[in-house]
Structure 1
Amino acid sequence: MAKIDTSEWKEFQVKEIVEKLDLKFLPSRSFNKALDISETKSDEFNLPLVNAKHFNNGIMYYGRENEWMSDSMTIDIVADGAASTGDVYAQPQETGVLYNAYLVKPKVNVSEHALFYLATIVQRCIKDHFGYDNKCTWDKVKEETIKLPVDSHGCPDWAYMDSFMAEVMKESEACLENLRLALRI
């Protein structure tokens, strides 16, 4: 893929583009980790819950969907973890929050591809700024500046982000297919 010319892109504070969601455990009883979540997805424990997880898209546990507030088309930001602080993952599916992470949602409706694009931009902005001793809290992240492509009105160009990521996905799928053929799987 050719180098991208970002000279016409515009800087935005993270809080101008996304808002933090306040998603919680719903039952009035106390949360019991041994009984209320599972490391394995099942019919009962079917809602992905983000946590301080490095890899696996930030998902460490699953909860019962009727016991957790959740949302879709969000971005997971890991606030606190030895290796995972500042990790950012797109969460297009319904997802809840356990702890040590939070979900943000674009202030406008975006496509899944644009969500992945935005998550990548946010990750590149914050990952190296935060660590275990400098937590990646929303109060800090919302003030960070990201650079995005813009349309003729100076607004984020979501259509460009969508088409760019669609092309990246297409190229990745072609590479995977070539690998499958080479390995005969």
Structure 2
Amino acid sequence: MSKVDTTLWGKFMIGQLFDIYKPNVYHTREVKESTDGIPYIVRSKFNNGMKYRVLKTNSLETSPSGVISFGSENASFFYQEEEWCSGRDIYYIDTRSLSSWTCRFLATCLDVIAEKYTYSFGLFPDLLKKETILLPIDKEGKPDWSYMDAYMRKVDNRAKKNLDCLQSVITPQNL
């Protein structure tokens, strides 16, 4: 795909588009690792922010699926496609009204904001609410969620085709 032209995109204040929440905090000693459990999201830039999966218990208050999580000190944005629980200094942007594809597009746009924040100068909800983000706009000048969805579907389809092509070329015989 060619470079995305952002010249006709609009600026939006995050706090005017979305609500941001702080989920309950669970320290490592309070959760039990379980391969078939739910994601335990921590301040990591790797594996979608997930440290490992943990056992879901009745006393564990989970965060919703379909949201974008971020850690204050690492300021990485991840789409959470299933319910999850979190460690310290994790927050989420309520994007449940948007498709998963749109959320992935949005998370990529949010990563530009993250570059300004470091471990010693964390990105907390009050700061994020005041940040502006560039997004594609529709005819009314509002975020074009449909365009974002369609764009990410194309990216995914292209990636799948490339993987299929690689798999047809790479076989156990030529490794």
Q: Is contact 2:72-2:89 (8 Å) kept?
A: yes
Structure 2 CA distance for aligned equivalents of residues 98 and 92 of structure 1? 18
TM-score (norm 2): 0.87
Q: How many residues in Structure 1 have an aligned counterpart in Structure 2?
A: 170
- Write out per-residue CA displacement over residues 45-68 of structure 1, whole angstroms, 9 at most, x where no aligned residue: x12121111210001133333312
Given the alignment, which residue of 61, 64, 78 partners 1:89? 78
Taking a change above 3 Å as real, the CA distance of residues 35 and 69 of structure 1, as seen in their structure-2 partners, is: closer
1:133 equivalent in structure 2? 120
State the one-letter code of the partner of 2:140.
Answer: H
Q: CA deviation at 1:21?
A: 2.1
Structure 1 CA distance for aligned equivalents of residues 82 and 30 of structure 2? 24
- Write out per-residue CA displacement over residues 55-99 of structure 1, whole angstroms, 9 at most, x where no aligned residue: 10001133333312320110011212xxxx111111122122222
Q: Does 1:111 align with 2:99?
A: yes
Q: CA deviation at 1:35?
A: 5.0
SS of corresponding position for 1:54: coil
Q: Does 1:74 align with 2:67?
A: yes
Structure 2 CA distance for aligned equivalents of residues 69 and 175 of structure 1? 36
2:146 equivalent in structure 1? 159
1:28 equivalent in structure 2? none
Q: Does 1:60 align with 2:54?
A: no
SS of corresponding position for 1:60: strand
Taking a change above 3 Å as real, the CA distance of residues 36 and 3 of structure 1, as seen in their structure-2 partners, is: closer
Q: CA deviation at 1:32?
A: 6.4
- Write out per-residue CA displacement over residues 113-155 of structure 1, whole angstroms, 9 at most, x where no aligned residue: 00100011001222x1011111121121221110011111111
Identity of matched residues, %: 25
Q: Is contact 1:121-1:146 (8 Å) kept?
A: yes
State the one-letter code of the partner of 1:145.
Answer: T
Q: Does 1:98 align with 2:87?
A: yes
Q: Is contact 2:28-2:87 (8 Å) kept?
A: no
Q: Is contact 1:97-1:103 (8 Å) kept?
A: no
SS of corresponding position for 2:19: strand
TM-score (norm 1): 0.83
Following TM superposition, the consecutive aligned residue runs of length 4 or more in structure 1 with deviations greater than 6 angstroms are none
Structure 2 CA distance for aligned equivalents of residues 112 and 132 of structure 1? 28
Q: CA deviation at 1:156?
A: 0.8
Q: CA deviation at 1:23?
A: 2.0
User: Gaps spanning 5+ residues in structure 2: where?
Assistant: none
Of the structure 1 ranges 64-73 and 155-164, higher mean CA displacement relative to structure 2 is found in 64-73
Q: Is contact 2:43-2:87 (8 Å) kept?
A: no
RMSD: 1.9
